[in-house]
A = this chain, B = another copy of it.
Amino acid sequence: MQIAMVLYDRFTALDIVGPYEALSRLPDVRVDFVAESAGPVRADTGFLALTADKALADVPHPDVVVVPGGPGTFAEVENEALLEWLRTADATSTWTTSVCSGSLLLGAAGLLEGRRATSHWLTLDFLPQYGAEPTGERVVPDGKYITAAGVSSGIDMGLTLVGKIAGDEHAQAVQLLTEYDPQPPYDAGSPQKAPAHLVEEFRTNSRFSLT
């Protein structure tokens, strides 16, 4: 099984490393980090680069596609080379997935038409313009598409997908190995749970800017 992990300028690192950490522990798997050109790709903060070992063109038919989000999404929704690769890869993929605002890239490629989907809570409202029906759930499967909410939700998505591909027991083994027994020191991880003024602050002065 070949998994393509897509990188692009100003992606959010945990969006892709979360599902990678689960999916890379599938049996008989090969994971390829891909970008428009092979080489280092810098994440949104500027402090970290992940290596794309291959160019998109080198991996035309992965079994699984994982698309992260990040501030860079808003440039990539107009990147026809990436969108065309997504369409081609999706034509033969077993699973096409996204984390965070990555769902807007699946949407822009025309893959979420008529489907239930999710996104980062700050970008959920962009989904309808691609014909998708936004949901407030954290991991949203619809047929072979699985979209996940913001950033850290990719870990839940990755484990869910490991279960679908290799069975519950293998997924539990991966959860145990990655000691995924979360104990957040606060309970502010969603707009429903966080202090209202913080939610408002992000909505009016979003770090997920459109620039």
Contact = CB atoms under 8 A, between A and B. Distances in A.
A33 B21 contact: no
Given A50-B48, A156-B185, A198-B169, A151 B163 contact: no
A202 B175 contact: no
A115 interface: no
A40 B51 contact: yes
Interface residues of A, number: 66
B202 A188 contact: no
A166 to B, nearest CB: 13
B176 A139 contact: no
A167 to B, nearest CB: 11
B185 A179 contact: no
15 contacts: A5-B48, A13-B20, A14-B21, A14-B178, A24-B45, A49-B53, A100-B179, A139-B185, A150-B177, A150-B178, A163-B186, A173-B202, A175-B188, A176-B199, A180-B189
